[in-house]
Structure 1
């Protein structure tokens, strides 16, 4: 069993000498620690729950390592609806506890933990039924507000049909008889997850991506660690731990099979597809929430774009690359066009993304009850699994996972304190917003550009802009993606752990879904900027570009296919950026 080492000022391996920076030196240091240090906890999975669990454990004084086979947030946590919300529709399902919990988390994000990343967003709920629908919906929103929804955002506002149409001129006049506006919150999910992981590193956690669990280490009937492979070069090492936590979401069942332990619950993958269209295609001051026959459809403001989604269908194919089909896209277009005066077409679509929700299922299909609640279990001595839940409640899930591992940890476990630990970039953010004009003048940028940077990096903006000192060309926009500066790509490689062009274009930025070219037109420029930091040869640059172009081509082709099987076959044919990944990926 691993024994915890006392923390001292001299014991540098239990602190963070890199200040939360995920660069090449930190990556090599992390590999050395994985092979030499015993850990209290090893966390498998670099999504928001895994990153949150690493932060929770580190801030409780535990030694912790997180390993992720691909990139931070490369699965579900970069492909959500990008909302921090209470889940208005869960009120109808009488899941009051879940709504209250989610609204508390939303409030924490808006006010203390991540005000630089999480912002209020309004939605119009169009009313279509006379007499009963307005009081029924108003009562639900009143409950939503009373459970915590209207603390840092405005409460509900009732609108006549004329008032609703003034707010959302894009709607057909006969699509509603009135409306109610309410507020939730949104964030760039991939950037938020990455910031949670960097904050965990800042507090001493070992964070290592491109590091795949290939086996579990056992001592009698207990799990005592994992064997991991660096999927960039193929080297392997054993990692010793008192407890291992499976935070792999839709991969939970696969990981259980690798561990040799029988799971206490099963996870079903539900595919959700979103499309991205230009902001001028839907004339509106607010987002929309529309009822469908199965669930709801969101039209979400996203900078100069709208995100429209989502679908909800079972997925039993490649978990790493869920593929959107033409049928999925048509479903979204048909539903949103039923209320729009000027219909959207396939030609309007700038980007498409598909993600998998990890939903809990029972032991059999007959008894299964899919839920957005989460479950946590100690499935074997030394092994904990957590799954289900929703992005908004990641912090609660993370704390529950560490609590569940406490039986395998020596000594008394301190209580979770992450409700009082701001993420990197939060401290000083509001003051910098007031100083945006001064900061812009100092660096020769337009104030709107600085405000955009502040909403992506918060007070870490100084680190970003300082990379342009003496290199003014880095403070210029990318040639084919002018919403982003070249220095942001350099920072992604030098501080944020981006190892491949795909990491930068799909997650550190959202160029892959925000531009019709989906990153193709700037892939070489991005590869050259990253290569300067990561030491790539010209051949490496070319390979990175080729792999990314193949990925985009496969995704475009999959989105023309009629069904999941055909789309999956097309998408899965694209090469992996990480050369030593093996299936099953966990």
Structure 2
């Protein structure tokens, strides 16, 4: 069998999420009986699928929309301990998160998770430096400085040399410390593919419409393919609800009373060009409610986040003009050259699933997670932080194990690198040779390595005999045309939105938000997915409507009017149905 034949043979690459694998997975859902069915394709859901699969369990994961289509593509894109949680005395959460950050940097995902530095500007004399230094010392000794440098104290002059963009009177000195960052959507998708590598059925556009029961226990789910409307029953010993902000809706659908309630907190970020803020480091700024990050992101800065309660559309939270003005006001309070609305390249809004507490201020609700067996055969998990997804997943599988017929092995995901990690460092050293072999600039290859790791050869092989695929996408030159093809052939992308918003981040990295390259990308994706010219045109039309609705919502003054504007856009997955309340 040739390499090309092997790539085209269903089942030859279990981590491949392409059209053929999608058809086969539907058959498996209807024919097999699973140990676990996981609902939700966010980071906790895919992490739970990976945890279960690597324990030797038969597991299926279903997601109504796309992998990471909710919260897990709209975070601050940090793997961090949560420095501010030390002030809230959540030492256990910080220690746990720092351990996870260390695992990601060194063993599990070094191709995706990278160190990033932040400057904390000091504004008060006498007490603030020792107070902050003590917190950072605790942060470092909890595990923060093993793979990244420890804190460094700077005078005002030293801080201004590191971040010339700051006003001179905005600080009296500074402390630099390190955390880590990752493309959240790409990381989530990679966890899902790793779960598939170990035998999990992973299927998107597959919505749970009913819970199956035998006597008093949950025995599986009925699912609907929201691309064509087919339905089938999926039998399982236990079901795990990993739907984040949709947790309560799924609980109602199951007919079981939940053990906890989840509230949604909206976090808005803006993206601006790198040259608008002259700095060698990110920034962390105190606000009256929380903290504000200015995060380096390739050729951009991500600035965020807000933290406000949200009770409207959970699938498409809308940023308002008020949200954007809040971010600009706070970052401009320290910048010598203020940012304006014209500087903004992208805006995105996400919802944090927080465990509801007595305080109505979402910024004060706990980021701890909770897991509960809400009925025989049904487990729910919610809360937590992106960084601690692996711990949450292990807890979910442990909770579900009481409903499984045989003894369940202990979690081992702290020893299981994500696909693309093995061989990554060797390929970094060989980047120049790899670039020469494919006629690419070494910088381009290093960028690909930090997106695909050791799978870069698999990506580039799709351009064998198709040198045009190694050209940049027009109007989005950070990405190659072959990446759009690979998104559909290997990464489970089913719609233009999946490629522009999550497999790449074109929708937030370019002022045109992906509209100017939509036709070109639709043509590339359509080759893989078998789109007719009419289907491709419809995908472009839906994507443009999404972009227009988002832009208009961001001019509205409040959540209600912004939500109404955003809701005018059509849904890419046309047969998606609202959960039964």
Q: CA deviation at 1:411?
A: 1.0
The 1:295/1:577 distance shift into structure 2, 3 A limit, reads: same
Equivalent residue, structure 1, for 2:4:
none
Within the candidate set 550, 555, 562, 1:555 is matched to: 550
Match of 1:71 among 49, 61, 66: 66
> Which one of the candidate residues 304, 319, 328 is aligned to 1:324?
319
CA distance in 2 between counterparts of 1:458 and 1:49 reads 22
- CA deviation vs aligned residue, 1:287-329 (integer Å, no higher than 9, x gap): 0000000000000000000000000000000000000000000
1:363 CA displacement = 8.1
Select 1:453's aligned residue among 414, 438, 448.
Answer: 448
Given that residues 114 and 423 in structure 1 are in contact (C-alpha distance below 8 angstroms), is that contact kept between their aligned partners in structure 2?
Answer: yes
After TM superposition, give the deviation of residue 579 of structure 1 in Å: 1.2
Q: Does 1:83 align with 2:78?
A: yes
**By how many angstroms is 1:585 displaced?**
8.5
Q: Which segment drifts farther, 440-449 or 15-24?
A: 15-24
Corresponding position: 1:426 with 2:421 = yes
Tell me, yes or no, if structure 1 residue 126 matches structure 2 residue 133: no
1:403 to 394, 398, 420: 398
SS at match of 2:348: strand
Q: 95, 113, 128: which is aligned to 1:100?
A: 95
- Are 2:304 and 1:296 aligned? no
Q: Residue deviations 1:200-255, cap 9 Å, x none?
A: 00000000000000000011110000000000000000000000000000000000
Q: Give the corresponding residue for 1:59.
A: 54
**What is the aligned counterpart of 1:540 among 518, 535, 540?**
535
Match of 1:389 in 2: 384
**Could you tell me which residue of structure 1 aligns to residue 562 of structure 2?**
567
SS of the residue corresponding to residue 447 of structure 2 reads helix
Partner residue in 1 for 2:206:
211
Residue 410 of structure 1 deviates from its aligned partner by 1.1
Q: CA RMSD in A?
A: 1.4
| C-alpha distance in structure 2 between counterparts of 1:203 and 1:511, whole Å | 31
> Partners of 1:60 and 1:527 in 2: how far apart?
39
Instruction: Name the structure 2 match of 1:245.
Output: 240
Deviations 1:64-93 (A, max 9, x none): 000000000000000000000000001111
Which of 492, 496, 501 lines up with 1:497 in the alignment? 492
| Matches for 1:570-581 after TM superposition, within 5 Å | 570-581=565-576
Match of 1:46 among 27, 33, 41: 41
- Tell me if structure 2 keeps the 8 A contact 1:16–1:204: no
State the match for 1:347 in structure 2. Answer: 342
Please tell me whether the aligned partners of residues 38 and 240 of structure 1 are also in contact (alpha carbons under 8 angstroms): yes
Structure 1 residue 121 displacement after superposition: 0.1
For residue 355 of structure 1, give the secondary structure of its aligned residue in structure 2: strand
Q: Tell me the SS of whatever aligns to 1:437.
A: helix
Secondary structure at the aligned position of 1:294 is classed as: coil
| Map 1:479-518 → 2, pairs under 5 A | 479-518=474-513
- Which residue does 1:523 correspond to in 2? 518
- TM-score normalised over the length of structure 2: 0.97
Partner SS state of residue 207, structure 2: strand
SS in 2 for 1:414: coil
| Matching of residues 13-52 of structure 1 within 5 Å | 17-52=12-47
**Alignment: residue pair count:** 572
Q: Distance in 1 between matches of 2:198 and 2:76?
A: 29
1:309 aligns with 2:265: no
